[in-house]
Amino acid sequence: MTSTIERPAPVKRRTTAQQSARTGARAAPLFGLPAVAVVALLLYLPFLWTTYVSFTDYDGLASPIWSGLANYKAMFSDPDLTGALVNTLLWVAGMVTLPVVLGLLIAVLTYGHKWGTWLRLPFLLPYAISGVAVGVIWGFVLQPDGALGQMLGFFGLPGAHTGWLQAGPGNTLMMIVAVTWQAAGVNALLFVVGLQSIPAEPLEAARLDGAEGFRMFWHQLWPQLRPITTVVIGLSIVGSLKTFDVVWVMTQGGPGTSSETLALSMYKETFVLNDYGQGAAIALFLSLVTFAASILYLRYQLGDSREQG
Amino acid sequence: MSRVKTPFLVVLGLIWLAPVYLLIVNASKSVDGYDAATVWKPAGFSLFTNFGDAWSKAALGDTLVATTLYSVIAPVLAVLIGAAAGYAIVVLKLKRGFLWFVFIFGGTIFPLQMILMPLFSGYADSGLYDTRVGMIIVYTAISVPFSAFVMRNFFTGIARSVFEAAVVDGGGLFRIFRSIYLPMAGSALAAIFILQATFVWNDLLLGLTLSQSESVRPIMPALTGLQSTYGGAALPTVLAGGLLVSLPTVILFLAAQRFFSRGLALGQF
């Protein structure tokens, strides 16, 4: 194919290049259009419709009727929904502590370790498993008198006959443990990336001065891990606000609504109770909180890519 | 310090592997041989019988074909669309390129909950509900912003002279994209593909909302169906189903660990 192309004469070279650069600028929108079109049609347009519907009374059949802030007021007064709000806050609190602290611990202990990659592998494995599969596995582990109960009984510990998932807020806490099992490894990997970016010389100097163990961590490593910690916490908040899969599989939000999260309430209000307006209000509320949390860490990401061009 | 370090990590690692051990051991028990009181003890090996049961009972077979289609086609489309956008913004110097980029990337910021209801209504009205084409379209759209993000960054690292030389050589803009820029981006394209294929494979919410029949429904919603109907059905079968649907992503993960780490560095999750 290339053999048939004739090189333009040297004299014309510059003008051809300039001309093509101009054609490039003119044709550029054509290459960008498909991306903008799918994103606009399938993400932004639905986003706008949901925003509108959240201020209306709408069952998906008759036309939406404007109802102002009624759906938002219900979110903070309806006991089922305030329960879901509290559970969602529990999820956020749980996910910014347990998997983050564990991830940091695993990262610091394995970083620079001879077998670091191998020692990290058990923690990374659950990350490759879907939320649904995590729910199936932990639903099994947490059965009444199931794997966890039998283990506690074997060691003569109390709680062998606890129904782990049968009452709130205990069921939410146990599901946070299940997701911690899945998420700690990724956080560890992110912290390792952070540790790799710390220059070695100051650490070496501190070590020569006799800094070691916890003191080394607190005074030397921790301050330099601040940017990556922000990213990890931002991602944890965003992820925990969306908690759906694991809860859907393990308890379906029950018993009753005791373990419902807002993401689950949104699904139920919309597709089970046909209260589209209420579902939309929950979705928009979640989006606003997510957006606020995203700003935390997107600053770092977009900041980086902007510098590049 | 280091004398405590290694044993501590090993013990913690073993605790982490315990649920995996329980999954494998109990998914391998025969339905009749399963005893709820002795879940920690291995007993027999009927894993493949249970795989077979899960395959036929939850119609995981049908759904596996559909999910495989989604997780291959949608990421490929998204990679190409995203790469074209990156090419337009960086290489062709699209006017107000950064705005285009922010618009496309902004598609990832809000949660799926925000688009579920309109997609459901829109799909129902347009006949896309419960069709394989509909599923492919939505998975593609979700994957485009990340793909554009990575490709824009990747193309930024390629020298301007490559484009100028190609233009001088008389290639059309589309041909320069297809035969020069795409081949150069092989590793980035693969990284995006792997991450997005994993996302599609693991999706529950979109599948639950936009599909219904066994031949369209993706694998994760199908597995939850198996889980919720196991009142009388056997637990080993459910666990075998859980193991079966996890194998592809775990194998992919182990085979492509460096791509996953790169995705992390790029800020996918």
Distance from CA of A169 to the nearest CA of B (A): 22
CA distance A249 to A133: 9
Are A188 and B9 within 8 A, CB to CB? no
Q: Does residue A26 sit in the same domain as residue A105?
A: no
In a domain, B82, yes or no: yes
| Contact map slice: A 193-252 vs B, CB within 8 A | 193, 212-213, 231, 235, 238-239, 241-242, 244-245, 248-249, 252
Q: Is the pLDDT of residue B236 over 80?
A: yes
Q: Does residue A106 sit in the same domain as residue A168?
A: yes
Q: Given this model, what pLDDT does residue B117 score?
A: 96
Mean pLDDT score, B90-114 = 91
Q: Given this model, what pLDDT does residue A172 score?
A: 96
Report which of B152, B55, B261, B19 is spatially closest to residue A182, judged by C-alpha positions: B19
Q: Does residue A238 sit in the same domain as residue A186?
A: yes
Question: Whole-number mean pLDDT of chain B?
Answer: 88
B242: contact with A, CB 8 A cutoff: yes
Q: Given this model, what pLDDT does residue A309 score?
A: 34
Q: How many helices (H) and strands (E) does chain B have?
A: 14, 0
In a domain, A54, yes or no: no
| Contact map slice: A 61-100 vs B, CB within 8 A | none
Number of domain units in chain A: 2
Q: Given this model, what pLDDT does residue A193 score?
A: 85
Residue A8: give the domain boundaries: 2-43
Q: Does residue A82 sit in the same domain as residue A226?
A: yes
B92: contact with A, CB 8 A cutoff: yes
B24: contact with A, CB 8 A cutoff: no
Q: Does residue A233 sit in the same domain as residue A166?
A: yes
Q: Does residue A29 sit in the same domain as residue A87?
A: no
B142: contact with A, CB 8 A cutoff: yes
A295: contact with B, CB 8 A cutoff: no
Interface test with B, best of A49, A109, A136 (most B CBs within 10 A): A136
A129: contact with B, CB 8 A cutoff: yes
Q: Does residue A84 sit in the same domain as residue A122?
A: yes
Residue B102: give the domain boundaries: 54-266
- What's B162's domain CATH number? 1.10.3720.10
CA angle A105, A109, A111 (to 5 degrees): 115
- What's A295's domain CATH number? 1.10.3720.10
Give B262's pLDDT tier (boundaries 50, 70, 90).
low
In a domain, B76, yes or no: yes
Q: Provide φ and ψ at B42, rounded to 5°.
A: -70, 145
pLDDT (tens digit per residue) in B17-76: 999 999 999 999 988 888 888 889 888 888 898 888 888 876 788 889 999 999 999 999
Percent of chain A with pLDDT over 70: 89
**In the 8-state DSSP scheme, what is residue B88?**
I
Are A278 and A268 within 8 A, CB to CB? no
Interface test with A, best of B9, B28, B109, B113 (most A CBs within 10 A): B113
In a domain, B29, yes or no: no
Residue position matching structure tokens 């759209």: B141
Give contacts of B6 with chain A, Cβ < 8 Å: 113, 115, 119
